[in-house]
Amino acid sequence: MTSFSLTDKTAWVTGGGSGIGKAICCTLAEAGAVVHILEIDEDLGNETCHAIREKLGPKHAHCWQVDVANQKQVMDVSENILQNGTVDILVNNAGIALVGALEQTSEDDLDKLFRVNVQGGYNCMYACISTMKKNGGGIIVNLASTVASIAIKDRFAYSMTKGAMLTMTYSVAMDYIDAGIRCNAISPGRIHTPFVDGFVAKNYPGREKEMFEKLSSDQPIGRMGTPQEIADLVLFLCSDEAAFITGSNYNIDGGFANLIK
């Protein structure tokens, strides 16, 4: 038997066009899953889809352009996928960030983050849950953040939305445990993605190397995490090896949540 196999499973991954989402899509496909990439940026989604198909064949990846904050779009895509397929796994990865304390957070800012990070997760779970119940079970993995449970400066709106994602995870795990649906959260710390590089370049021009090293050293382990490390944890939680795990939150943060005083 092969450990962590997802053969004959179908996974939906939101925000799979780059960074952590791309690593998750590729990792689940390599484990045998058929991966449906739900991505607002069609070009990035197609890049991930092409990379998987080139390596594993055309049946392993499909891309759908969708704004997860728009329930109609999510339901339309869901209906199209379910006409000829199913859903065994949902990974709610899509999300956006905002730097700012309460006074620097406008009503529009707050609404935008809520719609993508919270309502987007709700929309996708809503679209999948009835099929998972009919199938006798399913797996949901929600990407939260260390800031869902630990305060850091200037992340008011982002922390609020990730806290909501975490508590939605607990609620869904409780409500659907008898339906055979497992729901868990992952709370990454600082992960080296294109977003981090863009943030450093935009806010610290000419000091990129210095700031990258400072941001890396904030983690007790002394570096940022990698998208692949997040993807490997997602794979574990989606596999049969994690069959006894539901309603849990996994910090993957280089010790940030528990070792920073």
Terminal Cα distance for the chain, rounded: 44
Q: How far is CA 230 from the centre of its chain?
A: 9
Single pTM value for the model:
0.95
Active site residues: 158
- Each domain of the chain, given as residue ranges in start order, spans 10-189+225-255
Considering only CA atoms, which of 193, 115, 120, 109 is closest in space to residue 156? Answer: 109
Long-range residue pairs from 115-119, CB within 8 A, at least 24 positions apart, any chain: 115/69, 116/68, 116/69, 116/161, 117/158, 117/161, 117/162, 117/164, 117/165, 118/161, 118/164, 118/165, 118/168, 119/69, 119/71
Helix count (H) and strand count (E) of the chain? 10, 7
pLDDT in tens, the chain (261 residues): 579 999 999 999 999 999 999 999 999 999 999 999 999 999 999 999 999 999 999 999 999 999 999 999 999 999 999 999 999 999 999 999 988 999 999 999 999 999 999 999 999 999 999 999 999 999 999 999 999 999 999 999 999 999 999 999 999 999 999 999 999 999 999 999 988 888 788 878 999 999 999 889 988 999 999 999 999 999 999 999 999 999 999 999 999 998 875
With 0-12 / 13-18 / 19 or more C-beta atoms within 10 angstroms meaning exposed / middle / buried, residue 210 is exposed
Amino acid at position 150, single letter: I
Q: What are the C-alpha distances in Å from 191 to residues 20, 75, 151, 226, 227?
A: 8, 31, 17, 5, 7
Question: Tokens 């998972």 identify what position?
Answer: 132
Provide the pLDDT for residue 202.
Answer: 84
Q: How far is CA 7 from the centre of its chain?
A: 21
Helices assigned H by DSSP within 114-220: 120-135, 156-175, 194-203, 208-217
Q: In the CATH scheme, what is the homologous superfamily, with its name and number, of domain 10-189+225-255?
A: NAD(P)-binding Rossmann-like Domain (3.40.50.720)
